[in-house]
């Protein structure tokens, strides 16, 4: 399941200019990784009413599965720059 539950509604109503994905942890097999966080950030960025992009920084990209999900959810075409394990995306609103 990709839904993150338990977030207060106020977070969904804010037009975020920048998001940093650095959790949950993913360095051991039982860890939840960050796929759900990536999906949530994509949805929130796409729902912006303003025409400006949302800058998304994905920290600690070192596992193949996280790279694949990052390229799929956050879209490889929106990747602006990567420096070692820090990736920067600029995601436009959906409409």
Name the percent of the chain lying above pLDDT 70: 83
Per-residue confidence (pLDDT) for residue 56, from 0 to 100:
95
HSE toward the beta carbon, residue 55, CA cutoff 13 A: 6
Q: What tokens were used for 89?
A: 């995306």
Each domain of the chain, given as residue ranges in start order, spans 18-91
Task: Answer whether 20's CB lies under 8 Å from 57's CB.
Answer: yes
Dist. CA 15–CA 86, nearest whole Å: 23
Can you read off the two tokens belonging to residue 77? Answer: 């075409």
pTM given for the model: 0.82
pLDDT tens per residue, range 33-52: 788 888 888 888 888 888 89
d(C-alpha 4, C-alpha 90), whole Å: 22
């Amino acid at each position: 399941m990709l839904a993150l539950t338990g977030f207060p509604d106020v977070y969904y109503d804010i037009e975020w200019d920048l998001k940093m994905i650095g959790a949950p942890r993913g360095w051991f097999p039982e860890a939840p990784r960050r796929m759900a966080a990536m999906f949530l950030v994509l949805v929130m960025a796409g729902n912006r009413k303003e025409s400006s992009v949302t800058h998304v920084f994905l920290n600690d990209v070192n596992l193949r599965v996280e790279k694949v999900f990052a390229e799929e959810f956050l879209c490889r075409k929106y990747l602006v720059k990567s420096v070692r394990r820090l990736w920067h995306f600029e995601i436009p609103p959906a409409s």
